[in-house]
Amino acid sequence: MKLQVKGRNVDVTDALFAYSERKLGRLARHLSDESRCELELAVEHNPSINQKQVAEATVWTKGPVLRARESSTDMYASIDLVADKLERQVKRYRNKRSRKGAQHIASHVAPPPAEAVALPDEEDAVIVKSKQFNMKPMPPEEAMLQLELIGHDFFVFVNADSDDVNVIYKRRDGNYGLIEPSRDGED
């Protein structure tokens, strides 16, 4: 696996490069030699962000492109976190490939019974759960509190000011975002 380390608002020292090479080198045993990894190390200058040391990695494999982004107060810890996340993704990818291969081989050995229902491929995403709930109109500030109470990444609600369905979500920097529908001709 080829590794490239870049720095944005940070100098990539020999020690940082060696550490990155050692941590991300663990992925090589799961990937082919043609795989390529690009690691970007950055320091955020936004004073509202506590965890300013960011490690963002992209791995190009024969199959999917894997990405991970982690941040902490220490660059070495960020590299550890991103390497662990990528390793989990690579293992999941390898397991999917090996299961598909086993299913493919098994299908040539014995045909499935006639009454078996065809299952969708693992790559085809399907809706597996549907949920309905009553939405009482509320202001975005109350929706933000509801989001914190339920502990999810987003919360769908009816905005009391506009009577439109809105989504409030938690951003990486710890703040909140609000998604509102726009009318035709309005931006």
Block means of pLDDT (10 residues each) for the chain, length 187 residues? 88 91 86 85 82 88 82 92 89 70 49 45 70 85 82 88 93 90 71
Residue 19's pLDDT is what? Answer: 93
| Whole-structure pTM value | 0.52
Residue 90's pLDDT is what? Answer: 81
Range of the domain at 167: 140-179
Residue 15's pLDDT is what? Answer: 92
Q: Are residues 105 and 18 in the same domain?
A: yes
Residue 84's pLDDT is what? Answer: 92
- Residue 82 in any domain: the answer is yes
Q: What CA–CA distance (Å, rounded) separates 27 from 23?
A: 8
Q: What CA–CA distance (Å, rounded) separates 40 from 76?
A: 13
- Angle of helix 75-109 relative to helix 14-24, nearest 10 degrees, comes to 20
3-state secondary structure of 98: helix
Residue 98's pLDDT is what? Answer: 64
**C-beta separation of 166 from 178 below 8 A:** yes
Q: What CA–CA distance (Å, rounded) separates 74 from 55?
A: 10
Q: Are residues 79 and 164 in the same domain?
A: no
Residue 79's pLDDT is what? Answer: 93
- Residue 119 in any domain: the answer is no
Query: Where does a domain end: 109, 125, 158?
Result: 109
CA angle 173, 70, 10 (to 5 degrees): 85
Q: Which residue type sits at 30?
A: H
The count of structural domains within the chain is 2
Q: Are residues 7 and 82 in the same domain?
A: yes
Q: Are residues 52 and 97 in the same domain?
A: yes
Q: Are residues 102 and 157 in the same domain?
A: no
Q: What CA–CA distance (Å, rounded) separates 135 from 158?
A: 6
Q: CATH number of the domain that 161 lies in?
A: 3.30.505.50
Q: Are residues 32 and 102 in the same domain?
A: yes
